Amino acid sequence: MGWQGAPTGRYLNEDRSFWTLHAVYMPPLLRSSTVKKFVAGYELVCEPQRDMTPEKVNPRV
């Protein structure tokens, strides 16, 4: 689940009355038809940061 709200920062003093708070619900992601992909909450709403399995990162695992 992610939250999208009104702009802030340099837009703070502008009219933002048309913006509303949104909750975004995402389904679970899958690496394949049988393996779930567990990602951080940030990655569900933004771009994935590291799309690697632990086995790719460290072959000794």
* pLDDT of res. 38: 64
DSSP code at position 42: H
Supply the pLDDT for residue 10.
Answer: 84
Backbone angles phi, psi at 50, to 5 degrees: -140, 105
* Alpha helix (H) residue ranges in 1-61: 41-45, 54-57
pLDDT value of residue 26:
67
Q: What are 22's strand-pairing partners? A: 4
How many domains are there within the chain? Answer: 1
Predicted local distance difference test score (pLDDT) of residue 31: 58
pTM beyond 0.75: no
pLDDT in tens, the chain (61 residues): 677 777 788 888 888 788 888 887 766 665 566 666 666 655 556 655 666 777 787 776 5
How open is the CA angle 30-32-33, to the nearest 5 degrees?
Answer: 90
Supply the pLDDT for residue 42: 59
Give the domain range for residue 40: 2-57
